[in-house]
Amino acid sequence: MVAKSHFYGGRFILAPAARLDEPSFEVVVFGKTGRGAALRYMAAMGMGVLGRCRSVRVITAQSVSLLEPVGAPIQLDGDVELRLPARLMIAARPLSVIAPPATV
């Protein structure tokens, strides 16, 4: 999973070091596959101890290439938005947001 924010699914912490204002992603790599492993990872995330799992690695990156399996869906915030292959990168410059003045 590639995270820009440390929360996942509301209140669960996936990548503790991920921050929206940092110029990087946190890539969470799960070393084991299968239904049982997925259930253990979900339980660990629910208890806030995912980072203690020996088979979980968190890597900081500025770009991520996702290559296979070709055509597999990529979810962005829970919705399928892209298909593999894809390359995710941090924007070279920050976005400017134009908003009305805050009212008290």
DSSP-assigned letter for residue 6: S
- Give per-residue pLDDT as tens, 13-70: 889 889 988 889 999 999 999 999 999 999 999 898 998 999 999 999 999 999 999 9
Q: Which domains does the chain have, with CATH numbers?
A: 2-89 (2.60.200.40)
pTM of this prediction? 0.77
Asked if residue 11 has pLDDT above 70, the reply is yes
How many residues comprise the chain?
104
pLDDT at residue 63 in the model:
93
Return the structure tokens found at 59.
């890597």
- Which residues does residue 76 pair with via DSSP β-bridges, in sequence order? 79
Q: With contact defined as beta carbons under 8 Å apart, do 26 and 60 qualify?
A: yes
To which residue do tokens 């995710």 refer?
A: 88
- Rg of the Cα atoms in the chain: 16
